[in-house]
Amino acid sequence: MSNTLLLVASFIAFVSACHTGRNITYNVVLSAGEQQTVAVVVDSKVFPLKQSSHSVLLYTGEAPRAKKSYNYAKFNGSELVEQEAFLRDAVKLNTPNQFYNRTWDTVKPAKLPNTLPPMSAMNRVKSKLHLNDQIVTIHIEADEAAIERMHKDPMRNTEKVPTKLTYISLNEAQTFADVEFELAGNNARWFSKLTYNLKFPKKQLLAGYRSLKLRSLITDPSYIREKTVYDIMQSAGVATTQFSYARVYINKKPYGLFGIVENYKNPWLENEFANGQKEEFERGILYQGRSRSFTTNLSSNLEFRGDNQTLYADDSYKIKVDPAKGQPIDYTRLMEFTKFLANAPTTGSDVVNQWEKHIDTQSMVRNLALEILLGFADGYISNANNFYLYDNRERQQFVFIPSDTDYSLGSTFTKLSDMWTGNYHDFPGMSLKRPLFQKMLEVPQLKKQFEELLVKLTKELLNPKRMNPYIDSLVNMIREDVTWDQMVPRYAESILKDVGAGQQDPQNVDPNMFVPPTDMETTIDIGMRATLNNVNLDMAVNGPTGYISLAPVKEWFARQSEATLKYLNAA
Do residue 248 and residue 296 come from a single domain?
A: no
- 287-296, 491-500, 525-534: which is most confident: 287-296
Spatial CB neighbours of 178, under 8 Å, sequence gap ≥ 6: 162, 163, 201, 204
d(CA 72, CA 49): 10
pLDDT attached to residue 59: 99
Q: What is the C-alpha to C-alpha distance for residues 168 and 281, in angstroms, rounded to an integer?
A: 32
**CA-closest candidate to residue 550, choices 234, 111, 192, 218:** 218
Q: What is the pLDDT of residue 222?
A: 99
Q: Which tens digit of pLDDT belongs to each residue from 34-50?
A: 999 999 999 999 999 99
Let me know if residue 339 belongs to a domain.
Answer: yes
Most confident option among 9-13, 117-121, 523-527: 117-121
- Does residue 390 fall inside a structural domain? yes
Task: List the single range of 12-16, 466-470, 496-500 with lowest mean pLDDT.
Answer: 12-16
Sign of the C-alpha dihedral computed for residues 126, 130, 134 and 140 taken in this order:
positive
pLDDT at 187: 86
Instruction: Tell me the HSE value of 413 on the side-chain side, using a 13 A CA sphere.
Output: 23
90 plus 175 within the same structural domain: no
Based on the domain organization, do 476 and 455 belong to the same domain? no
Residues 63 and 172 in one domain: no
- Whether the per-residue pLDDT at 6 is higher than 50: the answer is no
Q: Specify the number of domains making up the chain.
A: 4
502 Rama sector, left if φ>0, alpha if ψ -120 to 50, beta otherwise? alpha
Q: What is the CA radius of gyration of the chain?
A: 26
Domain that holds residue 89: 3-98
Number of Cβ atoms within 10 Å of the Cβ of 448 = 11
User: Which tens digit of pLDDT belongs to each residue from 312-323?
Assistant: 999 999 999 999
- Is 295 a member of any domain? yes
User: End of a domain among 460, 480, 504?
Assistant: 460
514 pLDDT more than 50: yes
Kindly report, residue by residue over 406-434, the tens digit of the pLDDT.
999 999 999 999 999 999 999 999 999 99
> Pick from 396, 427, 460: which residue ends a domain?
460
pLDDT in tens, 202-240: 999 999 999 999 999 999 999 999 999 999 999 999 999
The answer to whether residue 564 sits within a structural domain is: no
- Calculate mean pLDDT across residues 7-18: 45
In a domain, 408, yes or no: yes
- pLDDT at position 501 is 53
- Band (pLDDT 50/70/90 cuts) for residue 522 is very high
Boundary (domain end) residue, out of 262, 288, 308: 262
Tell me 338's DSSP state.
Answer: H
Same-domain check for residues 532 and 432: no
Is 404 found in the same domain as 505?
A: no
Q: What is the pLDDT of residue 406?
A: 96
Do 490 and 420 fall within a single domain? no
- 334 shares a domain with 282: yes
CB 54 within 8 A of CB 175: yes
Query: For residue 58, is pLDDT > 70?
Result: yes
Residues 345 and 448 in one domain: yes
**pLDDT, mean over the chain:** 95
Say if residues 111 and 470 touch (Cβ distance below 8 Å): yes
For position 21, what pLDDT does the model report?
A: 53
Same domain, 234 and 290: no
pLDDT at 314: 96
Examine the pLDDT at 91 and tell me if it is beyond 50.
yes
Quick one: 473 and 456 in the same domain? no
CATH of residue 45's domain is 2.60.40
Residue 173: per-residue pLDDT? 98
**pLDDT confidence of 512, banded at 50, 70, 90?**
confident
Q: Is the pLDDT of residue 12 over 80?
A: no
Q: Residue 544: is the preceding peptide bond cis (ω within 30°)?
A: yes
Averaged pLDDT for residues 336-351: 98
Q: Is 125 among the domain residues?
A: no
Give the angle 100-102-103 at the CA atoms, nearest 5°.
130
Question: What pLDDT is stored for residue 333 in this prediction?
Answer: 98
Tell the burial category of 145 from Cβ atoms under 10 Å away from its Cβ (0-12, 13-18, 19+).
exposed
- Residue 19 confidence (pLDDT) above 70: no
Domain identity same for 345 and 435:
yes
Q: How far is CA 2 from the centre of its chain?
A: 46
Which tens digits make up the pLDDT trace of 432-444?
A: 999 999 999 999 9
- pLDDT score recorded for residue 494: 87
Q: Does position 9 have pLDDT exceeding 90, yes or no?
A: no
pLDDT band at 5 (very low <50, low <70, confident <90, very high): very low
Counting residues of the chain whose pLDDT is more than 70, the rounded percentage is: 94
- What per-residue confidence (pLDDT) applies to 571? 80
Looking at residue 495, its pLDDT comes to 83
Three-state SS letters, 480-529: HHHHHHHHCCCCCCCCHHHHHHHHCCHHHCCHHHCCCCCCHHHHHHHHHH
